[in-house]
């Protein structure tokens, strides 16, 4: 009986520590990233001297691991580096996926998300977003000799996409007769296409450009069909932190006005790259 009471007291003590916000040594908590209650993320980031950015690590050319250096590189990575430089802090990159990126942000494991994320109303109910920093649309990647010209040809056929992405929903909106097979990442969806498990892979055209350009034989693949969705990429931040969101917005505008955004675009998607994506004429929203 005494042993039982002792155990219960120990359990109660541990629960009390958790309730007080204490955790075992070495455990990462959301408070470590978000700062003290009432503190803006911008204050917390400056205080710790590090910006923790959630980026993709398998989406060429926005966020992926460079084979030579072993480092995370890409359009989104350089965007985050510019923001970190404006803050005068170091940049720490945290790989995220389409399915875990929002929880990573809300749980305080990252300070922002720059992860090929479309600003959607349903997502805005959970987190806040910056202004649009990249505009794209959804298309299809298929074998060049497949005969598939667009989503109209996908009725009754298997299509690969990614869990937690807008792409898996968009394709069913335009072609409800398709069977969507969702994978953890885009490389896995592309592999399924190569293996004949799906007849097409679908997502934003810039991601498809990266998949095709990364293949040893890009000519074997074709990106087909018109855009059947609007995909405005924005940076995700936690809700109700207007000071942090304003800073991100002002920094994006500065980057665009200085021509640094265009430099970043040409570096990763320009005519001298394997992932050339002709400019669409889109311009960033600039406030007076």
The structure tokens 């040809």 sit at 153
Q: What pLDDT shows up at residue 37?
A: 72
Q: Under the phi-then-psi rule, with left for phi > 0, alpha for psi from -120 to 50, and beta for the rest, what region is 240?
A: left
Classified by CATH at the fold level, domain 138-224 comes out as: D-Maltodextrin-Binding Protein; domain 2 (3.40.190)
Q: What pLDDT shows up at residue 54?
A: 98
Q: What pLDDT shows up at residue 186?
A: 93
Superfamily for the 40-136+232-269 domain: Periplasmic binding protein-like II (3.40.190.10)
Q: Which of 138, 139, 181 is nearest to 163 (CA)?
A: 181
Mean pLDDT, the chain, whole residue set: 89
Domain with CATH 3.40.190.10 in the chain: 40-136+232-269, 138-224
pLDDT tens figures, 21-56: 333 322 233 344 666 677 899 999 999 999 999 999
pLDDT tens figures, 208-251: 999 999 999 999 999 999 999 999 999 999 999 999 999 999 99
């Amino acid at each position: 009986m005494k042993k039982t009471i002792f155990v219960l007291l120990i359990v109660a003590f541990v629960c009390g520590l958790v309730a007080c916000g204490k955790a075992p040594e070495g455990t990462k908590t959301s408070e470590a990233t978000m700062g003290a209650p009432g503190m803006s993320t911008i204050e917390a980031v400056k205080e710790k001297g590090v910006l923790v950015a959630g980026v993709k690590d398998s989406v060429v050319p926005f966020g992926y691991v460079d084979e030579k250096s072993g480092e995370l590189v890409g359009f989104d990575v350089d965007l985050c580096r510019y923001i970190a430089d404006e803050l005068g802090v170091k940049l720490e990159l945290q790989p995220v996926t389409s399915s875990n990126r929002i929880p990573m942000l809300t749980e305080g494991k990252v300070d922002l998300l720059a992860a090929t994320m479309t600003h959607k109303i349903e997502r805005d109910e959970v987190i806040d977003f910056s202004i649009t920093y990249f505009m794209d649309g959804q298309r299809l990647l298929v074998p060049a000799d497949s005969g598939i010209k667009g989503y109209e040809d996908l009725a009754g056929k298997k299509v690969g996409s990614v869990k937690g992405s807008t792409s898996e929903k968009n394709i069913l909106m335009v072609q409800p007769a398709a069977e969507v097979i969702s994978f953890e990442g885009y490389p896995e969806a592309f592999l399924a296409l190569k293996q004949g498990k799906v007849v097409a892979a679908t997502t934003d055209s810039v991601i498809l450009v990266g998949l095709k350009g990364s293949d040893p034989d890009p000519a074997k693949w074709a990106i087909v069909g018109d855009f059947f969705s609007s995909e405005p990429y924005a940076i995700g931040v936690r809700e109700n932190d207007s000071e942090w969101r304003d800073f991100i917005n002002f920094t994006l505008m500065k980057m665009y006005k200085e021509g640094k955004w265009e430099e970043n675009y040409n570096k990763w998607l320009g005519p001298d790259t394997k992932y050339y994506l002709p400019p669409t004429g889109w311009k960033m929203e600039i406030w007076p």
